[in-house]
Amino acid sequence: MLAPDRLVTPLVRADGALRSASWDEALARIAAAVKPLDGREILALQYAGSMGLLAANFPLRVMNALGACTHDAGVCDNTSSAGYAAVLGRLVGPDVETAEESDALVVWGSDVKRTIQHLQPQLQRLAKRGAPVRVVDVWRTETLRAFEKLGGRGLVLRPGTDAALALCLARLAFERGWVDRARLAAECVGAAELEAHLGGAPTLAEAARVTGLTPEEILDLGEVLRAARRPFLRTGSGWTRRTNGAMGMRAVCTLAAVLGHADRVHYESAEVFGFDRAFVTRPELRGGRPPEVVHQIQVGRELCAGRFKAVFVWGHNPAVTLPNSRAVREGLAREDVFVVVHEQVRTETAELADVVLPATFFVEHTDVYRSYGHRVAQLGRRAVAAPTGPRSNVRAFSAIARALALPGDWDVDEERLAEELVRDAEARHGAAATASLLAGEPTRIAPPAERGTPSGKVELHSAALAAAGHPPMATWVPERPTGGARAFSLVSAPSKHTHNSTYSYSPLHLARRGPARCHLNPADARALGVEEGRPVRLVNDLAALTFAATLDADVPPGLVRVDGMPRAADTPEGLPLNALNADDLSDLGDGTTYYSTRVDVEPA
C-alpha cells in the first residue's frame, strides 16, 4: 500500500508510452474508444483479485450493460471442480476446522506448506498424535518432507497417473472385501456398474508399472484408507491441471466413496456460502441476450485472431498467468485492441494497456468475503482511507458506466451494496447469521443439505456425463502431453515467497525468492552436462526460456520444476514461464493443462 511504485493516478498511452493523466482524461479516452463498439467486440477479462465478491463481480454489471463477451474462468480450478462435482456434487466437503479430529490424513496433490499454511498446525498435531499420514505428489514437496519427519510416508508417483493409482485401489477394495455394499447401495448411484467397470482398471502390478510406486506402497495407502473411520483426505487443484486431470479427481473421489469416505474429501468450500452472484452482476441488463463466452485459457488465440476491439481487465494479470502467454501478450499489444486495466501496480498486463486506472487494496474498500476452504464469511468494511487517486472496483466501474452513458443508475455506494448482498442471502443463511455478517463478524455458514448431484446421491456412474459424451465412470486414461514429444515433464509450482504473480511486484518478496531457477534431478544434470548455477534452456514447440539450474534430489528423474510463475522480466528471452504452457483444454471443465507440459532441457 505504501510502496513507492504503487499506482495513484491513471495512466494513458501517448506516443507509445504510458503517462500520468487525470481520471477525467482517462474516462474520456475509454468512452471515445468503447462507445462505437458492439458489445460482442468487447471482452471482460477478470479473475479473483483480492477475493471480494463485489470487487470480482460488480464490474460485470457494467459488462452486462455493454453486452460484452465473458469467459469461463478456466484458469484455476474448473477442472478439479468439474471432476469433484461429477461424483460428489456440491463443493463442500468436511469442515476443515475439524481436520484435527480425524483418524488418518491423506494429502493428495496439495503442497499444504506452500499454499495453505494456516492448515498446517492442525495437520501437524494430527500427525504428532500418531494418526497415519500419507502424502501423494509428483515430487518430494516441502509438505511431503515435513510429514515424513513426523512419521508420515510420501508417495512420489509419475505425473498424470493419479487415476491409475486410485482406480487400482478401488478395484482392490471390491476384490478384497473392503466395501460396505449396503452402504454403497444406500448412498450411491452405479455401484454395481462400477464394480464391473473396475474389472478393467489397473491391477496392482499394472498400477505399480504405470505410477512408478512399489506394490507395497500402493497397498499401504489402501490399508490406511480402509482402516480409517474418519479420515481427512485433502486434495489440491494444481495436480488436476492436466489433459486427464478431471478424470484423476473423479478417480480419487470414487475411491473415497467406495471406501465409505465420500464426505471426507476436502477440496473446496465455495458452495457452502450461497451468495447470489447475479444480485451483483445483474445479467438482466443484457436485455435477454445471453453472453458469448470464450475459454479463458484460449484468450490469446482469440485476441490474435482479431475477435475483440476492446478488453477490460481487473483482478487479473493475464499477460503472466494465462497459458500460451506469447499469444496473450501479442493480442493485448495489437494496435486495433483498446485495453483498459484496473490495477494496483504496473503489472506486465498494465504495461500493455492503453488506459490504466489505479485500484484500491482490500483494506481500503468494503466487500464481502468467502473464506477459501473454510465455512466462514465476513463483511469486511474499509479499514483505512485510500490515497486520493485509487478507486475501488465499484467506484471505478461506476465511473466508466457514467462515462459511457449506459442506461440505469450508476451512483452505487459499495457499503450499501455489500449490506444488500448480505441481506439478499438471509433466506439461505438465517436471521442470526445475517445479523452477524452485518455486524462485521466472521460468521460460520451452514452448508446446504442437498448433495447437488442430479440424483441427489454420490454418482459412481454419471448419466449426465454419459449423455454429454464423457465416460460415465472414472477411467484410467493416460495423459496427453502438450508442448511436443519432449523428454521432461514441467511442473510450474507455487513459490513459498511469491506464491503466484500476486507478490511478484513486491521488492521484498522478489528479494526473498531470488532469481528464477529450474530445479532438476542431479542424475539428469550429469547426463546433460549441467552444473549447479549454470544456465539451462527449457525448450518445446511453443518457446525456449533460460533459467539458472538448481540440482535438487527432491525432484525425480524426468521432471523439472520452476517455482513462482516467473514473469517476462525474469527471463533473458523476455517471456514468462507460461510461454511454455499450451492453451489446450482439460478433459472436463475446460481448464488449464499446465502440468501436462513437456520440455527438453539443454545447457545454455
CA distances in angstroms from 364 to 263, 551, 590, listed in the order given: 38, 43, 35
In this prediction, residue 496 carries a pLDDT of 82
Contacts 24+ apart (CB under 8 A), 415-418: 415/366, 415/381, 415/382, 417/54, 417/58, 417/280, 418/54, 418/366, 418/367, 418/368, 418/379
Q: Taking all residues of the chain, what is their mean pLDDT, rounded to a whole number? A: 96
- The pLDDT > 90 percentage for the chain reads 92
Helix axes 204-211, 215-227, angle to 10 degrees: 110
In this prediction, residue 49 carries a pLDDT of 83
In whole angstroms, give the CA distance from residue 129 to residue 207.
Answer: 32
Q: What angle do CA 178, 175, 215 make, to 5 degrees?
A: 90
CB 587 within 8 A of CB 246: yes
Cα dihedral 491/494/495/496 (nearest 10): -130
E strand map for 236-325: 265-266, 293-294, 310-314
In this prediction, residue 494 carries a pLDDT of 85
Average pLDDT score over residue span 376-388:
95
What is the per-residue pLDDT across 217-257, written as a single tens digit (0 to 9) for each? 999 999 999 999 999 999 988 999 999 999 999 999 999 99
What is the per-residue pLDDT across 411-430, written as a single tens digit (0 to 9) for each? 999 999 999 999 999 999 99
Length in residues, the chain:
604
Average pLDDT score over residue span 355-365:
96
What is the per-residue pLDDT across 338-353, written as a single tens digit (0 to 9) for each? 999 999 999 999 999 9
Q: Does residue 33 surpass a pLDDT of 90?
A: yes
Confidence of residue 288 (pLDDT cuts 50, 70, 90): very high
Q: Does residue 502 surpass a pLDDT of 80?
A: no
pTM, full prediction: 0.96
What is the per-residue pLDDT across 383-402, written as a single tens digit (0 to 9) for each? 999 999 999 999 999 999 99
In whole angstroms, give the CA distance from residue 349 to residue 325.
Answer: 11
Longest Cα–Cα distance in the chain? 74
What is the per-residue pLDDT across 506-518, written as a single tens digit (0 to 9) for each? 888 888 888 899 9
Q: Does residue 503 surpass a pLDDT of 90?
A: no
- The pLDDT > 70 percentage for the chain reads 100
What is the per-residue pLDDT across 126-165, written as a single tens digit (0 to 9) for each? 999 999 999 999 999 999 999 999 999 999 999 999 999 9
In this prediction, residue 153 carries a pLDDT of 98
Q: What angle do CA 150, 154, 160 make, to 5 degrees?
A: 150
Q: Cβ contacts of residue 514 below 8 Å, gap of 6+?
A: none
DSSP string, 44-57: EEE--TT-BHHHHH
E strand map for 230-325: 231-235, 265-266, 293-294, 310-314
In whole angstroms, give the CA distance from residue 593 to residue 109.
Answer: 15
Identity of the amino acid at 16: G
What is the per-residue pLDDT across 537-590, written as a single tens digit (0 to 9) for each? 999 999 999 999 999 999 999 999 999 889 999 999 999 999 999 999 999 999
Average pLDDT score over residue span 22-30:
98
In this prediction, residue 340 carries a pLDDT of 98
Quick count: other Cβ atoms within 10 Å of Cβ 209?
15
In this prediction, residue 497 carries a pLDDT of 82
In this prediction, residue 430 carries a pLDDT of 96
- The b-or-e profile of 139-173 (16+ CB within 10 A means b, else e) is bbbebbebbeebebbbbbbbbbbbbbbbbbbbbbb
Confidence of residue 408 (pLDDT cuts 50, 70, 90): confident
In this prediction, residue 4 carries a pLDDT of 81
Q: Does residue 505 surpass a pLDDT of 90?
A: no
Cα dihedral 117/111/1/53 (nearest 10): -90
Q: What is the CA radius of gyration of the chain?
A: 24
